[in-house]
């Protein structure tokens, strides 16, 4: 689905105007505190803002907020957990288990207390949580920041697979090579302005 | 049996116990004697003023005056609820939540009691309505402030968990349900403790007062049971309302978590 943002303004600055074709990717870089996460949150409608965002020409206002967020899914750099154990976070356990080997995760992790997971395991499990919604657009905030090169490569493989099936991707990353591997257009966010690189 | 009426001399003799505390403070170097004496004098003056005010209001006994006095009490209680939590909602949110919670709890339970168990003539008689509203308010105040404080501190702590659910398309009301439950629970628990301990660990103050004033213990106990049930109702309404009024201020029409409205 085609995502178009027009005149997007908010705490991250702006106005931001960009569009993303199905399966395309955008990588956003910029110094800490520049508003990269806020920009993703604005697209996901988690933070108040001005301007419009459409999906295949349909204005966001016609979607309920939960319906929009299922289609345009945001994954925070430090994702939250709301149960003590991992399992209740994955109502569709069979599908979650099917995705785990591809991210080098042992399905046993689904029956563990969340606090026993490593940061990298949490990040990959949170990615699976988002992928289970089959979103049209993925908004990822440094998804591989806490991962080793092998796990990073596995995450990128899954993202490329999703892109091939039409999922668009906006990723905040400090890794220029990652942007290239994902075939992403690069943008730099600083002082409230998004500049193509 | 007639009540034993107290004379000023009786109270002066009783005040010697406060003086005893002050002596202990001086003796142990607690530096509490001045505060203690000021508190005792304040307590005496405040209660005497309330006594005279109530005698005046009871004598006139007009619905407007009774309602006016209850509204003043509600406003003061609402302000207390708003002030206690460390976190404050923007645009007088704490005040709105506090005032709405104590007002709803007090009016619903007081009118319920006046219309069912007590049935004075007229039903709004100041002698019944004002003390009843007063005791409901005191407990509603505690419940509402505990619930509000738990909600406002909890929402900061649980922010990542709530937003992770919102980002997955969970409704705001479902993502915040555990927080609401924990907050209401915190507001209601004290009254459960009080009810469980009543008569065994403590003799409730109102019952003791009525027995001292000459009422038979069984009649005093019946009043106390009625009050406990009313208080349980008031506390429940106050805790639930405070939590829901506050959470309503922390979201918007797009089901976002508006943490920016919390200072």
Q: What's the mean pLDDT in B225-249?
A: 97
Which of A43, A50, A82 to probe by mutation at the B interface, max B CB count within 10 Å?
Answer: A82
Give the per-residue pLDDT at B22: 95
Taking only the tens place, the pLDDT of each residue in B121-149 is 999 999 999 999 999 999 999 999 999 99
Which residues in B136-146 are b (16+ Cβ under 10 Å) and which e? bbbbbbbbbbb
Residue A20 has pLDDT above 90, yes or no: yes
Across chain A, mean pLDDT equals 96
Question: Nearest-CA distance from B146 to chain A in Å?
Answer: 23
Taking only the tens place, the pLDDT of each residue in B169-194 is 999 999 999 999 999 999 999 999 99
Q: Does A76 touch chain B (CB under 8 A)?
A: yes
Question: Nearest-CA distance from A51 to chain B in Å?
Answer: 15
Query: Where does the pLDDT of residue B263 fall: very low under 50, low under 70, confident under 90, or very high at 90 and above?
Result: confident
Chain A residue whose CA is closest to B254: A65
Distance CA B73, CA A172 (A): 54
Q: How many CB atoms sit inside 10 A of residue B24's CB?
A: 13
Q: Does A79 touch chain B (CB under 8 A)?
A: yes
Distance CA A197, CA A183 (A): 13
Query: Where does the pLDDT of residue B3 fall: very low under 50, low under 70, confident under 90, or very high at 90 and above?
Result: confident
Percent of chain B whose pLDDT exceeds 90: 89
Number of A/B CB contacts below 8 angstroms equals 67
Is A66 in Cβ contact with B170 (below 8 Å)?
Answer: yes
Distance CA A181, CA A193 (A): 25
Which two tokens mark B186? 């915190």
Task: Evaluate the omega torsion of the peptide bond into residue B33 and state whether it is cis, within 30 degrees of 0.
Answer: no
Q: Where are the alpha helices (DSSP H) in chain B?
A: 8-28, 33-60, 63-83, 93-113, 126-157, 159-167, 172-175, 177-197, 205-212, 217-249
Do B123 and B112 contact (CB within 8 A), yes or no?
A: no
Across chain B, mean pLDDT equals 94
Taking only the tens place, the pLDDT of each residue in A46-105 is 999 999 999 999 999 999 999 999 999 999 999 999 999 999 999 999 999 999 999 999
Q: What is the dihedral of CA B230, B231, B233, B236, to 10 degrees?
A: 180
Q: What's the mean pLDDT in A192-197?
A: 94
Q: What's the mean pLDDT in B39-63?
A: 94
Closest-CA residue to B164 (of A88, A137, A78): A78
Chain A residue whose CA is closest to B172: A66
Q: ipTM above 0.85?
A: yes
Give the per-residue pLDDT at B1: 59
Question: Nearest-CA distance from B175 to chain A in Å?
Answer: 9
Structural domains in chain A, CATH included, are 3-196 (3.40.50.300)
Do A187 and A27 contact (CB within 8 A), yes or no?
A: yes
């Amino acid at each position: 689905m085609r995502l178009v943002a027009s005149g997007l303004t908010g705490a991250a600055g702006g106005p931001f105007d960009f569009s993303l074709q199905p399966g395309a990717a955008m990588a956003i870089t910029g110094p800490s505190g520049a508003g990269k996460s806020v920009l993703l949150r604005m697209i996901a409608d988690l933070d108040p803002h001005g301007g419009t965002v459409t999906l295949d020409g349909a204005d966001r206002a016609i979607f309920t907020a939960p319906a929009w967020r299922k289609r345009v899914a945001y994954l925070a750099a430090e994702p939250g957990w709301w149960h003590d154990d991992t399992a209740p976070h994955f109502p569709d356990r069979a599908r979650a288990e099917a995705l785990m080997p591809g991210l080098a995760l042992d399905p046993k992790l689904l029956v563990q207390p969340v606090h026993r997971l490593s940061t990298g395991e949490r990040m990959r499990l949170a990615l699976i949580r988002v992928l289970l919604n089959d979103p049209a657009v993925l908004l990822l905030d440094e998804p591989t920041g806490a991962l080793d090169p092998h796990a990073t490569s596995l995450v990128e493989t899954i993202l490329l697979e999703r892109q091939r099936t039409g999922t668009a991707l906006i990723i905040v990353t400090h890794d220029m090579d990652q942007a290239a591997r994902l075939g992403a257009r690069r943008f730099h966010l600083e002082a409230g302005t998004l500049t193509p690189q | 049996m007639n009540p034993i009426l107290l004379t000023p001399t009786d109270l002066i003799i009783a005040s010697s116990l406060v003086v005893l505390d002050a002596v202990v403070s001086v003796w142990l170097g607690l530096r509490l004697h001045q505060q203690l004496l000021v508190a005792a004098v304040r307590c005496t003056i405040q209660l005497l003023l309330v006594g005279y005010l109530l005698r005046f209001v009871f004598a006139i006994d007009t619905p407007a005056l009774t309602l006016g006095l209850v509204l003043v009490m509600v406003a003061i209680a609402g302000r207390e609820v708003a002030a206690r939590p460390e976190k404050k909602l923007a645009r007088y949110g704490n005040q709105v939540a506090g005032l709405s919670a104590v007002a709803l709890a007090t009016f619903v339970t007081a009118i319920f009691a006046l219309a069912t168990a007590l049935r004075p003539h007229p039903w709004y008689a100041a002698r019944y309505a004002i003390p009843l509203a007063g005791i409901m308010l005191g407990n509603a105040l505690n419940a509402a402030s505990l619930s509000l404080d738990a909600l406002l501190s909890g929402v900061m702590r649980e922010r990542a968990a709530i937003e992770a659910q919102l980002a997955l398309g969970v409704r705001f009301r479902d993502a915040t349900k555990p927080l609401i439950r924990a907050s209401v629970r915190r507001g209601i628990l004290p009254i459960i403790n009080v009810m469980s301990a009543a008569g065994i660990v403590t003799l409730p103050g109102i019952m003791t007062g009525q027995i001292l004033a000459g009422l038979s213990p069984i009649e005093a106990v019946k009043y106390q049971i009625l009050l406990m049930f009313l208080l349980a109702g008031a506390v429940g309404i106050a805790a639930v309302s405070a939590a829901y009024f506050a959470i309503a201020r922390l979201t918007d029409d797009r089901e976002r978590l508006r943490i920016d409205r919390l200072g």
